[in-house]
Structures are given as C-alpha cells and as structure tokens.
Chains A and B, each alone.
Chain A
Amino acid sequence: MKRQAYSIPYLTWMTIFAVLPLFLVLFYAFTTKQGSFTLDNLIRFFDPLYLNVLVRSINLALVSTLICLILGYPMAYIISKANIKARNTLILFFIIPMWMNFLLRTYAWMTILERNGIINKFLSLFGIKPLSLLYTNGAVILGMVYNFLPFMVLPIYTVLIKIDKSLIEASYDLGANKLTTFIKVVFPLSLPGVISGITMVFMPSVTTFAISRLLGGGQFTLIGNLIERQFINVGDWNFGSAISIVMMAIILISIAIMNKFDKDKEGVNLW
C-alpha cells in the first residue's frame, strides 16, 4: 500500500506555496528593513492611530454580523418551513446572487447610493436635498450585509431542516406552546448553524478591503485597507507583515473559540 505517496506532489506544493510564505511573513514581521530582529513593527501597531483602525474593523464586522443574524435567522426559518419543492427554489434564488462577482454586487450599491443615484433622485421628487449616503459607515455595513447574508442563512437553514420533527411534536405533546418550543427546542438545536453562520460572516467582514474601499471611499480605512496600503503604496513590508500576523491571530483565535463553543453545545445535544 504505497498509495500515500500520491499525496507527495500536493504536500510539496502546499509546503512551498502555503506554509513557507507564512514563515516569510512571520520573518518580515519580526525584522527591520536591514534584516535584524525587532519587535518594533508589532509595537508600532499598538499606536492608537492603528489600534483605532482595528477597533473600527471589528466593530463594523460585529454590527454586520449581528444584522445578518437578525435578518437571516427568520429567513432561514421561513424557508425551512416551506414544502420541499418550494424550499429548493427559495434556496436556489438565495444562492444565485452569490454566484455573481461580489465586486459587481458592491458596485450595484454604489450606483444606488451615490449623489445622483436612485435614492437621491427619488427623494428629490419630494423636494428633499440629496443626502450623502455613499462613503459612510452605513454604506460599508450595508455592503457587508448584502454580500454576506447568504453565508448566514445557508448554514442555519441546513441545520434547521435536519432537526428531528418528532422532537418538536414531543414538545407540543408535553404542553409547550409555539414560542416555548422555539426557545427551548428549535433554537438550541440550531445553534451549530448559527455559530458557523457567525464565523462565516464575521471573518470576511473583518478582512475585507474592497467593500470598504468602494463604498467607504478612500478616506475610510479598515484593517484590510491598512495592509493593502503597506504592501502596495507605502512598501513597508515589515509593518504590513506585522499587521497581517495580528489579523491572522485574531481570526484563528476566534475560529478556535467558536469551534470550542460549538463542540460544547454538540456534547449537550448528544445527551
């Protein structure tokens, strides 16, 4: 059985192009331009100027994730309650926009929100002066929610349709009303889906730089834009690498926390 050897080309490829590059970034993060060891790049990131960018990115991502959860959970629930044929069609129509290039979808919002855009044209019919909707916090959050809402709905929906109907019937038989059944039975059972939905929305929201650039304008900096600028415009790879390492740490730690949370819950569900 030497079939293990089939994975050698893959493992070689991944070592060179996935593992090695991360060590390079790590190396840059901890060295000066001349190549000697330093912690200055990391320390520099804790300057309030940059720390604010991190806080703002996390804030916006949290708000977007929360909105996606509030909008997405009822939607997943409604779809999961439809009959099989309607269910498949409804989910299909949820997936279709996801298959369009996300930059085109973001661009679509630019045309709606801009100064001569639809909303402002509509408002001017009532004599309301054009609002500046584009290039604001709200526009960035809107872009994130629009792009990532399906990532919240799909995992919750998948978990909801797998819930054993007899558990819900049992709850009714034991005298619980609809609301109690939802709070005590359906919602706890759907938590794994909620958790993976939260992870799948939060991660891309924290790290995006295109959405904030297009809908937030040039002056609007998120951590993704900060990294982009260090590598593309400023050319300070050492600092850029340090920011990337911090961001990677945040993401991997939050995934680990989410996974642990998920497992605990699953342990409970397995009795």
Chain B
Amino acid sequence: MVSRVLKRVYAALIYIFLYAPILILIIFSFNESKSRGSFTGFTLKWYKQLFSDRQIMQAMYYTLTVAFIASLVSTILGTLAAIGIHNMKKTTKKISLNITYLPVLNPDIVTAISLMVLFIALKLKLGLLTMIIAHITFCLPYVVLSVLPKLKQLNPNIYEAALDLGATPSYALRKVIIPEIMPGIISGALLAFTLSVDDFVISFFTTGNGVSNLSITIYSMARRGIKPEINALSTILFLIVLVLLILINKTTNNETKEMR
C-alpha cells in the first residue's frame, strides 16, 4: 500500500517537472507586466504583438515552407530508395544501409558544419535553398528507415501474383506495393515534417541572408533576453501539439479497437 502511494507521488513529481516550465510560460503569456517575477494583471496584448511581429511571422512562414518541401521531396525519394534497397544484393545493400545510417548516427553539429562547408565550396549562397537541401538530406534516412520494415513484412508472392495476372511491373508497384507499404510512407512523411519543424542545429549553420526559421529566431531572441511574445508563441504551439497528439492517439486507439 505504501509503495503504491510512493509510486504515485514519484510519477506525479516527474510530470510536474515536465510540465511546470510549460505551465509557467502559459501563465506569463497573459501577464500584463513584462517581468516574470509577479503577475500584475490579465492581458492578451502579447498575442496581438506576436501576430504583428514581422520577424516571428516570417520565421513561421520559412519553417512551414521548408518543412513542407523537405518532407515532400524526402518522402518521394526515400520511398523509391527503400524499394530499391530492399531488392539489392547483399554487398550493395550493406553499403546503402551504411550510407543511410551515417547522418542518423553522426552528431547534428557535424552534419551541419559539413554541409555548410560543402555549400560554400560549391559557391552556393547560404539561404532558403541551402536550408531546404540540408533538411532533405537529414530527413531522407528517416523516411527510408520507416519504409524498409514495411517492405520486409510484405509478402513477395502478391507482387508476383499481380504480374501473373497481367500487370506491368510499374502498374503492380503502384497498385500493389505502394498501398501495402502506405503506413510506413505516412509515418516517414510525418517524421520528416516534425524533424524539419523542430530542427535548430542544422538550420543554424546552413542558412543565411536573413532567412531564419522558428528555432533560430527563438534562439536569437532568447539570447538577447526574454520577450513576452515568446511566451504567447509557446502557448499557441503547445495547444496545437496537445490537440494534435490527443486526436492522433484517439484515432489510432479506435482503429486498434476496430481491428479487434
């Protein structure tokens, strides 16, 4: 009995540790005064200022543009790559897999500076384009690694059955293989999107020319001192994440129930 209470208290303390900082940001996003020490009155002015802050809105735009393009390109290239790698012979497969693991295992900062060095060597101007290329590069392996297991689970006979029934290889690919591995493709795409939205280190080194995403903007703002607009931004982002994850969790729970 005592141990049960102890367990609950422990779990509660850990959750408080996880959520207290976020809660404090949310509370102070409604605080009249700029100081975080005391709550002087309720206001929505930081939200108003947030949406009229050109720097933050621009960063939001770049973040979403880069994430959209990077996840789209890496999902297409990565899915094709996974199909290719799945059909490779032993040695070539091993080499391709090692290349895939390279950016996953390598520290972010090494990937970041190596890309920066490459872009400068190629005389590419650092900016939106280089940031998109960098994001595609670090998203690609994650797409490949989420599609490959689905291909392994795939029954090879259904592809051959499609061919026997007169389908051309590309038709069989589109109508048989792609639908079968769709869950892997979707989770790869989602993973790529969230990785791209959340990325800081690689973007920091591969961008320039005034192009900065949300992470870079938060980093430079936080270094200069604390701005109440960031609290408002945190609150909005937290609510979006909360609603999205609870919705996703609900639908997957319902699906598993239906499957039973």
Contact = CB atoms under 8 A, between A and B. Distances in A.
B109 A75 contact: no
A25 B109 CA distance: 12
Interface stretch (A33-41, A95-103, A183-191): A95-103
B157 interface: no
Contacts of A107: 25, 218, 222, 226, 230, 234
Contacts of A213: 219, 223
Interface in A209-245: 209-210, 213-214, 224, 227-228, 231-232, 237, 240-241, 244
Contacts of B133: 17
B128 interface: no
Contacts of A227: 109, 113
A207 interface: yes
Contacts of A170: none
Nearest to A81: B7
A206 B107 CA distance: 9
Say whether chain B's binding surface is mostly helix, strand, loop, or mixed. Answer: helix
A10 B200 contact: no
Contact of B17 (A15, A120, A146, A248): A146
A121 interface: yes
Interface residues of A, number: 80
A19 interface: yes
B114 A21 contact: yes
Contacts of B242: 96
A63 interface: no
B150 interface: no
Nearest to B121: A24
Interface in B85-99: 85-88, 92, 96, 99
Interface string B154-169: 0000000000000001
Contacts of B241: 96, 99-100
A108 B22 contact: yes
Interface in B31-89: 35-38, 77-78, 80-88
Given A4-B84, A100-B241, A111-B226, A10 B140 contact: yes
Interface in A39-80: 71, 74-75, 78-79
Contact of A92 (B18, B103, B249): B249
B251 interface: no
Interface of B: 7, 10-11, 14-15, 17-22, 24-25, 28, 35-38, 77-78, 80-88, 92, 96, 99-100, 102-103, 105-111, 113-118, 121, 133-134, 136-137, 140-141, 144, 169, 173, 194, 197-198, 200-201, 205, 214-215, 218-219, 222-223, 226, 230-231, 233-234, 237-238, 241-242, 245-246, 249, 253
